[in-house]
Structure 1
Amino acid sequence: MADSDTTAPKGFLAELRDAVSTRAALLVIGVFVIELAFIVSYLGAFHSPAPHRIPVAVVAPAPVRGQVVGRLNALPGDPVRARTATDRAEARRLILRRTVDAAVVINPSGTTDTLLVASAGGPSVAQTAGQIAQDVERANGRTVRVTDIRPPHRADGRGLSSFYLVIGLIVGGYVASSALAMSHGARPANVHRTTIRLGSLALLSTASGLGGAIIVDPVFGALPGHFGALWGIGALTTFTAAAVGMALQVLFGQLGVGLALLVFVVLGNPSAGGVYPSSLLPPFWSAIGQALPTGAATTLVRNTVYFNGNGTALAWWVLAAWAAGGLLVSYAASVRGRRALGAAA
């Protein structure tokens, strides 16, 4: 007689519980939340860009200078924040130092004025400033000629190479920390393991910075002439993402991978000023952009390449603070874990 099947058939719910564990279900739910957050963040930032307080300088004869500034600052919706400049040379310096994004130079002897822009700092804001100037001038019976004093390099297209370089470096950093966590556990066993892991990430970051600099400079010629600076910025950017990713995983386990994705991609990318600068983003994304590593690194690369490093102090501090925070949290958690093991023994 053949052996009878001793395995009793299971109902659907029992099979479901066996096939999908609670942990797997929570991970899928987490992915679902991140997916929706990704859509909301990108659409929220990009669906309807509008100018808000674009910094603009005004060069005009003394009798009408105040009137022009007041007229610009009184525009509906507050699209610009105007200030005065003594002459065209000062206006040019203000743009290249990243104090303002554009400058209106009034021609006292004619009806054609000049708008100075630097599209390398963000083509979309230069175009928006040009459109605002044309509308204002047309309403006052004047015309405006746009002069781009610092366009992107020919191989930089629409000036987005800085942003794309940073995205690649950031992704490499937090993915590397996630890979180490999946291979050897999210929480290093002791301080020595923490040091070894961070040292490995530092080596990877150095190589990533070098690779990124090679790609954007000698290979494509998109951001030429600043190889050493781009190498250093790239290494710091990658290590910042890696250290923060490791710290989040030390604190929250596998959930830290999702939190890193939230910080660097869901919130960081649309607010970074790559596609649209902060003056064209809604208030929330405009406020957080330069406080996150992606935005700080994008500003750092762009202003180093095109504006002689002007306007980069805050970006350096932001990246350094995030990197230091990742280091401190990782080491603090390792020390705490070692003490907990000692107490348990």
Structure 2
Amino acid sequence: MHNSTPDAGVRGTLTPGAVVLVVGVLCVQLGFLLSYIGAFHHPDPQRIPVAVVAPEQAADKLDALPGRPIETTVVKNEKAARDRIMERDAEGAYLMDPRGKQDTVLVASGGGGSQADAVRKTGEKAAAQEGRQAKVEDIASSGDEDFNSLTAFYLIVGWLVGGYLMASLLGITDGTRPSRPGHAVLRLAGVAVYSVLSGLGGAIIVDPALHALPGHFAALWWLGALLVFGTAAFTMALQAFFGVVGIGLAVVVFVVLGNPSAGGAFQRYMIPPFWRAIGDWIPTGAGTTAVRNIVYFSGNALATPLVVLAAWAVAGVVLLLLGSIRRREPGLALPI
């Protein structure tokens, strides 16, 4: 008769591999909390770039405001100020009227509601300190169905989730590492088809279905396809080198680090320096910026975010192919 004890069952469950995975999950969870709370617990404007049409001394006073909320660039006229905003070289503008007491503050809420609100408040405060009035004009406002320009961020997050979930599913059902380069190519081809369909679905939802980001259907479709493909390819590459742990690493990159730094609820000049420094170089932030620039800024300043997204896709493809030919080493898999 076979005898078993509770202790034996516990020992069978608590293998070294299981303990490592539990500790890893705990670290990811705490990292998630640290990253989100660290980025968002005290949003504060920090040197938001603002174009100024005013005498040099007036710009110096704006630069010297307590806490340095804005950083000014003096331009020659209102047209130059508007151009800087639309070309994404500035987030707002302060136009001083030399013949009167009413100045104008230009904002662009399409680039993010919290940043635009900070520019507005700073401009109004600066005008009041000089005994002047300020009227506010939103020259690139977020749409009626896009509150605070948040749709871009949620669209990107949805696409990203689809990308790394698709890659994770392939890894779980078909092995985390392709057995040969041809196998890797087949996976990439399947992911490419999925990415095109995912990009199409997202574009349908935000344009004809909900009218949240209308009028840019084709551009959003192919941007989404590139984003999903790059996310999936890079996640598959991580799995090829690190096994199931690669899924966790993808979550760290795209979610734990990517979401707080992407400029969703609080844009880059409202969050601490660490998140501001990494945001533009992670697909979450690059994608969010690209969507906003397509929809609200006439497609200006798209080169950098598109190059970033393409670089992640190329890196994912190359690393996955390298992972498929890498010699298997004993002990790489976690015993669970």
Q: Name the TM tier (shorter chain).
A: over 0.9
Would you say the 8 A contact 1:237–1:319 is kept in 2?
yes
Moved more, 100-109 or 77-86: 77-86
- Equivalent residue number for residue 97 of structure 1: 87
1:149-168 equivalence runs, <5 A? 149-168=139-158
Confirm or deny that 1:257 pairs with 2:251: no
Runs of 4+ in 1 over 4 A off after TM superposition: none
Moved more, 97-106 or 74-83: 74-83
Letter in 1 for 2:50: V
1:179-190 equivalence runs, <5 A? 179-190=169-180
For residue 24 of structure 1, give the secondary structure of its aligned residue in structure 2. helix
- Equivalent residue number for residue 130 of structure 2: 140
Confirm or deny that 1:50 pairs with 2:44: yes
For residue 145 of structure 1, give the secondary structure of its aligned residue in structure 2. strand
Post-superposition offset of 1:275: 1.1
- Equivalent residue number for residue 343 of structure 1: none
- Equivalent residue number for residue 41 of structure 1: 35
Confirm or deny that 1:7 pairs with 2:3: yes
For residue 99 of structure 1, give the secondary structure of its aligned residue in structure 2. coil
Post-superposition offset of 1:8: 5.5
Inter-CA distance 118–9: structure 2 relative to 1 (3 Å threshold): closer
Confirm or deny that 1:295 pairs with 2:277: no
Letter in 2 for 1:22: P
Confirm or deny that 1:201 pairs with 2:191: yes
Post-superposition offset of 1:6: 4.6
Give the Cα separation in 2 of the matches to 1:57 and 1:187: 51
Give the Cα separation in 2 of the matches to 1:219 and 1:321: 31
Give the Cα separation in 2 of the matches to 1:299 and 1:19: 46
Letter in 1 for 2:252: L
- Equivalent residue number for residue 280 of structure 1: 270
Post-superposition offset of 1:90: 1.5
Give the Cα separation in 1 of the matches to 2:306 and 2:173: 32
Give the Cα separation in 2 of the matches to 1:137 and 1:152: 25
Letter in 2 for 1:7: N
Q: How many residues align?
A: 330
CA RMSD of aligned residues (A): 1.5
Post-superposition offset of 1:117: 0.7
Would you say the 8 A contact 1:98–1:310 is kept in 2?
yes
Confirm or deny that 1:269 pairs with 2:263: no
Give the Cα separation in 2 of the matches to 1:257 and 1:132: 43
- Equivalent residue number for residue 209 of structure 2: 219
- Equivalent residue number for residue 165 of structure 2: 175
Q: Deviations over 1:314-336 (max 9, x none)?
A: 10111111111111111112223
Post-superposition offset of 1:52: 1.0
For residue 116 of structure 2, give the secondary structure of its aligned residue in structure 1. helix
Post-superposition offset of 1:76: 2.8
Give the TM-score, by structure 2 length.
0.95
Post-superposition offset of 1:45: 0.4
Would you say the 8 A contact 1:189–1:334 is kept in 2?
yes
Would you say the 8 A contact 1:187–1:334 is kept in 2?
yes
Q: Deviations over 1:138-191 (max 9, x none)?
A: 111112111111111111122111110000000100110010000011110001
Letter in 2 for 1:74: A
- Equivalent residue number for residue 307 of structure 1: 297
Give the Cα separation in 1 of the matches to 2:307 and 2:293: 15
Would you say the 8 A contact 1:56–1:101 is kept in 2?
yes
Higher relative contact order (CA 8 A, sep 6+): 2
Give the Cα separation in 1 of the matches to 2:240 and 2:77: 55
> For the pair shown, which has the larger CA radius of gyration, 1 or 2?
1
Letter in 2 for 1:149: I
Confirm or deny that 1:233 pairs with 2:227: no
- Equivalent residue number for residue 108 of structure 1: 98
Give the Cα separation in 2 of the matches to 1:8 and 1:299: 59
Letter in 2 for 1:56: V
Give the Cα separation in 2 of the matches to 1:125 and 1:210: 30
Q: Deviations over 1:265-294 (max 9, x none)?
A: 000001001111111110000000001011
For residue 322 of structure 1, give the secondary structure of its aligned residue in structure 2. helix
Q: Deviations over 1:22-69 (max 9, x none)?
A: 222222221111111111100000000111110001112xxxx11011
Would you say the 8 A contact 1:190–1:337 is kept in 2?
no
The alignment-based identity, stated in percent, is 47
Give the Cα separation in 2 of the matches to 1:7 and 1:336: 44
Letter in 2 for 1:283: P
Give the Cα separation in 2 of the matches to 1:27 and 1:93: 52
Q: Deviations over 1:72-127 (max 9, x none)?
A: 12223222110112111221111111110110010112211110111111111111
Give the Cα separation in 1 of the matches to 2:169 and 2:17: 19
